[in-house]
Amino acid sequence: MTKTAWVFPGQGSQSLGMGSDLIELPLSKEKFAQAEDILGWSVVDICQNDEAKLSRTLYTQPCLYVIESILVDALLAKQKPDLVAGHSLGEYIALYAAGVFAWSDGLRLVKRRAELMDSAAGGMMAALIGFDQGQLEQTLAENADVVLANDNSAAQVVISGTPEAVKEVMAKVKAKRAIPLNVSGAFHSPFMATAAAEYEGVLASVEFQTANVPVLSNVDPTPTVDAIALKQRLMQQMTGSVRWREISQALPGNGIEKVIEIGPGNVLTGLIKRTCGNLQLENIRTAAELPGE
């Protein structure tokens, strides 16, 4: 059997109309109804009709969790992964797929996470593409107000910090493209410490189980199934860097031959291809792309 990893995208992969064909899947109506009870608003309505809300952290994160987890349920009925990982928010769907927590608990965690991140203010994030690695490392070392938030691949990173510090790095580091991100705060940086401290109590209240399959976490890309370790890693995630390049490199090292990205878009398979070009890559974005009987 081909050893397969499932990976889950996070914020930025959403698109209007996502999940439109999931409504007809068995159990999806129940999940959408349950989500409306927990969230107080309709995932289906926002995904179909409200692009402005869908692009706002408060709504984006729960919508992605619900859509991706419904795809997970449909896929788990037919096959099982050998390893899972998710990018930022995607780590929550990875943990759900691995049986670490109940679906409703996961959605409540994502809801609170989204509320805290949406209310964060005063920070800035920017993506750098085709940059000078040495120059970036030196500039970050010289400025305590900006950090590497997402190490996505050798050619793409995201920096996070105060607006002044982020703009200074963008001006100093040679890059093919430097793109400010439309987010409210300095996510995945020490500037999220207040939000992370408040979130820690919410996370502590949720029971984690031993994972069914190993998980590669954002802050620690070594595989583990240990419930305590997985919760501790998730507690560090809001202020820690997303080490996606290292997660990509760890896949073949753990015997993975095939990677399935579950959720809208193809960001993660694109990043993995740049880091590990010899892996089989597949995307499941819609019900139509789920394997047949």
CB atoms within 10 A of CB 158: 25
Question: Same domain for 131 and 196?
Answer: no
CATH of residue 161's domain is 3.30.70.250
Question: pLDDT tens digits, residue range 162-220?
Answer: 999 999 999 999 999 999 998 889 999 999 999 999 999 999 999 999 999 999 999 99
Question: Same domain for 111 and 129?
Answer: no
Cα–Cα distance between 127 and 122 in angstroms, integer?
18
Q: Can you tell me which residue has the tokens 């419930």?
A: 227
Residue 110 in contact with residue 155, Cβ under 8 Å? no
Backbone angles phi, psi at 67, to 5 degrees: -65, -50
Tell me which of 237 and 1 has the higher pLDDT: 237
Cα–Cα distance between 254 and 234 in angstroms, integer?
21
What residue numbers bound the domain in which 131 lies?
A: 124-180
Hey, which residues are catalytic here? Answer: 88, 188
Share of the chain above pLDDT 90, in %: 95
Cα–Cα distance between 54 and 49 in angstroms, integer?
9
| Average pLDDT for 4-17 | 95
Share of the chain above pLDDT 70, in %: 100
Residue 88 in contact with residue 237, Cβ under 8 Å? yes
Question: Same domain for 61 and 142?
Answer: no
Instruction: Count how many domains the chain has.
Output: 2
CATH of residue 62's domain is 3.40.366.10
Cα–Cα distance between 119 and 199 in angstroms, integer?
13
pLDDT at 153 exceeding the cut of 60: yes
Question: Same domain for 169 and 236?
Answer: no
Question: Same domain for 76 and 28?
Answer: yes
Question: pLDDT tens digits, residue range 96-110?
Answer: 999 999 999 999 999
Q: For position 293, what pLDDT does the model report?
A: 56
